[in-house]
Structure 1
Amino acid sequence: MRKLLAAALCALALSTPAAAQSPAPDTVAAIRARGALLCGVTPNTIGFASPDSRGEWRGLDADYCRAVAATVLGDATKVRFVPTTAQNRFTALQSGEVDLLVRATTWTLSREAQLGFLFAGINYHDGNGFMVHRRMNLRSARELDGASVCLQPGSTTELNVADYFRSNNMRLNPVLIENLDELRTAFAAGRCDAYASDTSTLAAFRAGLGERGNDFVLLPEIISKEPLGPVVRKGDLRFFDMVRWTHFALITAEELGITQANIDGFAGSTNPDVQRFMGRTGDLGRMMGAENDFAVRIVRAVGNFGELWARSVTPLGTPRGINELWTRGGLMYAPPMR
């Protein structure tokens, strides 16, 4: 009997992948021991992640990093922002150079199944588009046959643009430039006829140019779905849960009408949903290894999702559209906090 049991255990061990047998990483413990969250962001995209004149990182994605720090460490200021490019961002996450990516990264099957990542939610429903020089007098992307297009290598945009040109029997002359600032400079100088990227990135680029932004036109076609959101490594479900429910807490706060300015006024609410959100009932935070008032700390630090949008994205002139709450016809939806 003992021999049979030993043989069964041996067979089970041999059939179990090596990754499953190795100890799971403890990202939360590493962050807490370090005393800071390492958050990978874009080098300089106004409205999403960009250092201001004092070197403080501002934008929707930067505030997401702060919100996760509030959940994991109880302090939204304990973040180290790590600029990453479209090509090195995944290596940075895989190697542990960053704990988390929040930098205009599209949720795809291959990035989860092949690269070993998990997307914790969607903080921006986006799509690829084209920006051109106004002097070209173009009205549609269908007029770009034979055009040179500035693209970042290693991005979903590179693949989507190639697919779009191929499916429409158009000739593409790609100009691949990894460094984002160099790419934008090349486009503005006329080295490329068009600049292709997420429409949010294109709007941020044009907004950063001031009056000169009027020299460029965003064509009407949206050629892809680009669900952007925070990304973590597979294998650490506790950290994944914390990042995912940070995202949902931002949306839930907006649903409940809880803002950075009025949150203290909800302390005595008898609404069961509010009581759970505030950490007064349910023990929800401790279930995933955080404090029960983690959602309160998030909102006090950065506000709710609508406040993040109004502060960072609205100034770009980008309508909220499908990024509105589900109760207002949009796609932003959070499961119950209970």
Structure 2
Amino acid sequence: MKLIKAAALGASLFFFAAASNAGETLDAVKKKGFVQCGVHTGLPGFSLANSKGEWTGIDVDLCRAVAAMMFGDAKKYKAVAQTTQQRFTALQSGEIDVLTRNTTATMTRDTTLGLMTPGINYYDSQGIMVKTSLGVKSAKELGGAAICVQPGTTTELNLADWFRSNKLEFKPVVINNPDEAMRSYEAGRCDAYTTDKSGLATTRSTLSKPDDHVILPEDFSKEPLGPMVRQGDDPWFMVVRWALNTMLEAEEYGITSKNVDEMVKSPNPNIQRILGVTGEMGKGLGLDNKWAYNIIKQVGNYGESFARNIGTDSPMKLERGLNAQWRDGGLMYGWPVR
């Protein structure tokens, strides 16, 4: 999701502060004994807290993977809910250690905020949802429509770009809180609601009558979503990068949370390295060699996380699509653990 122009104000100050603290995040996380992750305020399948304050979602699973990697315990994390307008400042200021909140990787974010993206955990696109009662089959039929959108986001910018390029007028209804935006859309304050298509699908599944709403076919943008960390802190960047890559590699090699104890006996040299049976793969990360085993055993591989949260085993039942493994026609390609 989303880019705020306002976040660029003072970004250079944060950048230099981050650079001057190179390498300190990893030591600070070890010292306090848990990892603090910025997550969405509440997006089913990505990050959502239940009545007991327990968080679930693929973004939360990535946070849990980092905790398992660091401490051998996936429960040693704290989720901190962040709005689109809070998230970058929270990371820049050190309020959180890593942002695991469906955030789009863009050039501007990599070059002006003092932040960087270690990898992509969900390839998405921006779409638009309308009520079936409108009889609309294409976004090109929405000229003059009122559209609910969150402010300070790439969504807001992409929406304006798409309508301008198609020579159509529209009326933005800017609402910061996604829940309030959906309520406004349902109440008829706006004709349509726009955000990432994954967000539209998950939100649609929670409505009382999902079939009364349709996501139109147009893709307004590319939205490669992934975690973010501060620039200038390479050891911590590597931890987050390899937490994600390990989940992807585990899926490719068929290592799951259920069979990982059997897979340590595998003669496959790649599996042996991933699970720490051979080699010293943890040394360069400043961790023991069971870091990947702990992620897989306690959190699972990427495919397990996807199925559990937004795929076949979830209410959303989203198809893998671009998020399938590269061998299955998708874009998910884990870097070699060797």
What is the TM-score normalised by the length of structure 1? Answer: 0.92
Partner of 1:169, secondary structure, is coil
| Residues 50-199 of structure 1 aligned to structure 2 (within 5 Å) | 50-199=48-197
Of 22, 33, 42, which residue of structure 2 is paired with 1:44? 42
Of 239, 242, 267, which residue of structure 2 is paired with 1:242? 239
Is residue 308 from structure 1 mapped to residue 319 from structure 2 by the alignment? no
Give the AA of the match of 2:337.
M
Residues 46 and 204 in structure 1, CA contact (< 8 A), matched pair in contact too? yes
What corresponds to 1:320 in structure 2?
Answer: 320
Give the AA of the match of 1:335.
W
- In 2 relative to 1, CA 21–307 (structure 1 residues): closer, same or farther, beyond 3 Å? closer
Residues 203 and 317 in structure 1, CA contact (< 8 A), matched pair in contact too? no
The more displaced of 275-284 and 226-235 is 275-284
Find the aligned partners of 1:135 and 1:235 in 2 and give their Cα distance.
52
Instruction: Give, in angstroms, the shift of residue 55 of structure 1.
Output: 2.1
Give the AA of the match of 1:229.
G
Instruction: Give, in angstroms, the shift of residue 98 of structure 1.
Output: 0.8
Instruction: Give, in angstroms, the shift of residue 122 of structure 1.
Output: 0.6
Partner of 1:230, secondary structure, is strand
Residues 22 and 234 in structure 2, CA contact (< 8 A), matched pair in contact too? no
What corresponds to 1:291 in structure 2?
Answer: 288
Of 230, 253, 274, which residue of structure 2 is paired with 1:277? 274
Find the aligned partners of 2:117 and 2:222 in 1 and give their Cα distance.
15
Find the aligned partners of 2:86 and 2:172 in 1 and give their Cα distance.
20
Instruction: Give, in angstroms, the shift of residue 54 of structure 1.
Output: 2.7
Find the aligned partners of 1:222 and 1:241 in 2 and give their Cα distance.
32
What corresponds to 2:335 in structure 1?
Answer: 335
Find the aligned partners of 1:18 and 1:197 in 2 and give their Cα distance.
32
Give the AA of the match of 1:81.
A
Find the aligned partners of 1:119 and 1:243 in 2 and give their Cα distance.
9
Instruction: Give, in angstroms, the shift of residue 20 of structure 1.
Output: 9.3
- In 2 relative to 1, CA 152–257 (structure 1 residues): closer, same or farther, beyond 3 Å? same
Instruction: Give, in angstroms, the shift of residue 164 of structure 1.
Output: 0.2
Find the aligned partners of 1:258 and 1:281 in 2 and give their Cα distance.
16
Residues 160 and 224 in structure 1, CA contact (< 8 A), matched pair in contact too? yes
Query: What is the identity percentage for the equivalent residue pairs of Structure 1 and Structure 2?
Result: 49
- In 2 relative to 1, CA 196–42 (structure 1 residues): closer, same or farther, beyond 3 Å? same
Instruction: Give, in angstroms, the shift of residue 52 of structure 1.
Output: 2.1
Structure 1 runs of 4+ with >6 Å offset: 17-21
Partner of 1:103, secondary structure, is strand
- In 2 relative to 1, CA 147–154 (structure 1 residues): closer, same or farther, beyond 3 Å? same
Instruction: Give, in angstroms, the shift of residue 18 of structure 1.
Output: 6.7
Instruction: Give, in angstroms, the shift of residue 23 of structure 1.
Output: 4.5
Deviations 1:194-216 (A, max 9, x none): 1000000001101122x422221
Find the aligned partners of 2:297 and 2:28 in 1 and give their Cα distance.
25
Find the aligned partners of 1:269 and 1:214 in 2 and give their Cα distance.
47
What corresponds to 2:228 in structure 1?
Answer: 231
Is residue 254 from structure 1 mapped to residue 257 from structure 2 by the alignment? no
Give the AA of the match of 2:85.
Q
Which blocks of at least 5 consecutive residues in structure 1 are unaligned?
A: 1-16
Which blocks of at least 5 consecutive residues in structure 2 are unaligned?
A: 1-14
Find the aligned partners of 2:268 and 2:223 in 1 and give their Cα distance.
36
